[in-house]
Amino acid sequence: MGETALSAQFTSSVVASGLDNPRGLAFGLDGALYVTESGVGGTGASVVLGDGQTAQYGSSGAITKIQNGQQTRIITGLPSLAPSNGGGGIGPSSIAFDSSGKAYVITGLGANPDPSYFNPLIFPDFGKLLQVDFNTNSWTTVADLGAFEAANNPDGSDLNSNPYGLLIQNDIAYVTDAGGNDLLQVNTDGSNLNVRAVFPSSLGTNPFTGQTIPVQSVPTAIASSGSGELFVGQLTGFPFTPGTANVYKISSGLPPEIYAGGFTGITGLAVDPQGSLYVLQFASQELLSGNGALIKIDPDGTRTTIASDGLIAPTGLAIGTDGSIYVSNKGALPGQGEVLKFVAKPVPDNSSATLGLIALGTISAVSQIKKNKFN
| Backbone torsions φ then ψ of 153, nearest 5 degrees | 45, 65
Q: Give the strand order in the sheet containing 128-133.
A: 92-97, 103-107, 128-133, 138-144
- Specify the pLDDT at position 8: 63
Q: How confident is the model at residue 346 (pLDDT cuts 50, 70, 90)?
A: confident
Express as a percent the part of the chain with pLDDT over 70: 89
pLDDT in tens, 259-292: 999 999 999 999 999 999 999 999 877 666 668 9
Taking the C-alpha atoms of residue 310 and residue 320, their distance in angstroms, rounded to an integer, is 21
Domains belonging to the chain, first-starting first, are 5-344 (2.120.10.30)
**What average pLDDT does the structure give for the chain?**
90
Taking the C-alpha atoms of residue 128 and residue 122, their distance in angstroms, rounded to an integer, is 15
Q: How confident is the model at residue 157 (pLDDT cuts 50, 70, 90)?
A: very high
Q: Which residues contact 344 (CB under 8 A, 6 or more apart)?
A: 9, 10, 323
pLDDT in tens, 175-208: 999 999 999 999 999 999 999 999 999 999 998 9
